Amino acid sequence: MAVFEVVLASRVPQSGTTPTLTIVNRLVCDSITYTDELNRPGSAQLSCPVQAMTSDVKARLVDLGALPSEAWIYADSVLVWAGEIQTLNIQGQSVTLGCVGLLGYLFRMGVITDLTYAAVDQFTIAVGLVNQFQTQTYGNYGIDTSTVGTAGVVRDRTYLRNELHNVGQRVTELGAVLDGFDLRVDAITRKLVLTSPVSGTDLSATVFFDQLNIDSASVAVSIAPGDLVSDVASTSTFTSTAGVNSTLYSIRTTSALQSTYGRSWDSFSSSNVANQATLDGAGDAYLSPRAKQLFQPGVTVVPRAFPDVASFHPGDTVTYSYDAGLGLQTLTPRVAKSTVSVDSSGKTRMLVEFV
């Protein structure tokens, strides 16, 4: 069983460089819950008794706006999760801290200068979006983009400052197309990690979720509109640097599903996609997981020696083999989300959701 520890770290912004991060003190927690999620910041919730808080911790938490702080969660002395403390709630003698993972800092950034990319590598575009904000005075959140390479996939993108773009949203959209990329910020190094086309390792031969470790299981199956789609239409509006407004239209189909189920139509809209092939790729990426019935297992797992909390991460492929009531169902899904919960006695549970 892993031993968990949480520390409070101060984040002091600097005018022209990375912020200063300093460990303040240990946080004594009655319960710890943290979530790693594919292509999302993830979150953590910490329940801490007031009487166990040191004076320097209390002094840091008294004003989250003036004294920004982060929570760093360790499992067996290894940093497994880090993020900003965004909410604080006091009830009786207990303080609940709500935290958002390091990738969440991108959603505090905006496009503040006109950016135009023509046939530019998609990783370069993502880094450009982050860097144009972090180079501003007090705009640096310590997200390290220096080791991001190239994907070998080029895109056309235009982001004008008067269109009020959010960097986190634009980078997420940039990756969420066919031949796109997965993204995360490494908790230990704070490096922005972009992986094309997808992240993760095939662990299906070594990591099993089955009757030996599943504590409870649920299965959701759906062919509702939007869950089962054979035809998707999409549009994108964009503004050129000359101020000309234009609209693209795309229709993508899956003939195999049409022949077995019939036509099932859906749609979505994008913004600032100025290349037809890119919009078509977004449609293909939208169709791919919807070409068959939605089968979504979710499991609560008792951590064993293997798999334990460090055995897999979002993006990895594992083996799920379980009879939830309709017979044994076996598949090799990618992990979309994992939530670790630890109570005051050290009892640990993992809730795992799949793509």
pLDDT in tens, 178-232: 788 999 999 999 999 999 988 889 999 988 888 888 887 777 788 999 899 999 9
Q: Which of the listed residues 270, 290, 310 is the one where a domain comes to its end?
A: 290
Query: What's residue 288's pLDDT?
Result: 83
Are 58 and 31 in a shared domain? yes
Does residue 346 fall inside a structural domain?
Answer: no
Same domain, 117 and 190: yes
Residues 81 and 50 in one domain: yes
Assess if residue 278 is contained within a domain.
yes
Interval 128-183: pLDDT, tens: 999 999 999 999 999 999 999 999 999 888 898 888 899 999 999 899 877 889 99
- Of 191, 161, 190, 158, give the one whose Cα is nearest residue 174: 158
| DSSP per-residue letters across 308-345 | -TTS--TT-B-EEEEESSSSEEEE-PBEEEEEEEE-TT
Per residue in 262-281, pLDDT (tens digit) is 999 999 987 767 778 878 88
Q: Whole domain around residue 29: which residue ranges? A: 4-102
Q: Identify the bridge partners of residue 219 per DSSP, sorted by sequence position.
A: 297
CATH number of the domain residue 19 falls in = 2.30.110
Beta-strand relationship, 245-253 and 231-239:
antiparallel
For residues 100 and 277, the model is more confident at 100
Same structural domain, 168 and 181: yes
Strand order in the sheet with 265-271: 245-253, 231-239, 265-271
What is the tally of structural domains in the chain?
4
Domain assignment present for residue 125? The answer is yes
Q: Are residues 218 and 332 in the same domain?
A: yes
In a domain, 261, yes or no: yes
Q: Is residue 344 part of a domain?
A: no
Q: Give residue 87's pLDDT band: very low, low, confident or very high (50, 70, 90).
A: very high
Domain boundary among 83, 102, 121: 102
Instruction: Give the mean pLDDT of 18-36.
Output: 96
User: CB neighbours of 244 closer than 8 A, spacing ≥ 6?
Assistant: none
Residues 75 and 145 in one domain: no
Q: Are residues 9 and 49 both part of a single domain?
A: yes
**Mean pLDDT over residues 1-7, rounded?**
88
Residues 177 and 62 placed together within one structural domain of the fold: no
Residue 41 binned pLDDT confidence (cut-offs 50, 70, 90) = very high
Provide the pLDDT for residue 251. 95
pLDDT of 12 strictly over 90: yes
**Domain shared by 36 and 70, yes or no:** yes
Which residues, in sequence order, are CB contacts of 257 under 8 Å at separation 6+?
228, 229, 230, 264, 291, 292
DSSP secondary structure string, 207-223? Answer: -EESTTTEEEEEEEEE-
Assess if residue 59 is contained within a domain. Answer: yes
pLDDT at 241 exceeding the cut of 70: no
Claim to verify: residue 214 and residue 245 sit in the same structural domain: no
Q: pTM of the prediction?
A: 0.84
Question: Are residues 267 and 212 part of one domain?
Answer: no
Is residue 280 domain-shared with residue 301, that is, in the same domain?
no
Query: Is 51 a domain residue?
Result: yes
Decide if 341 is inside a domain: no
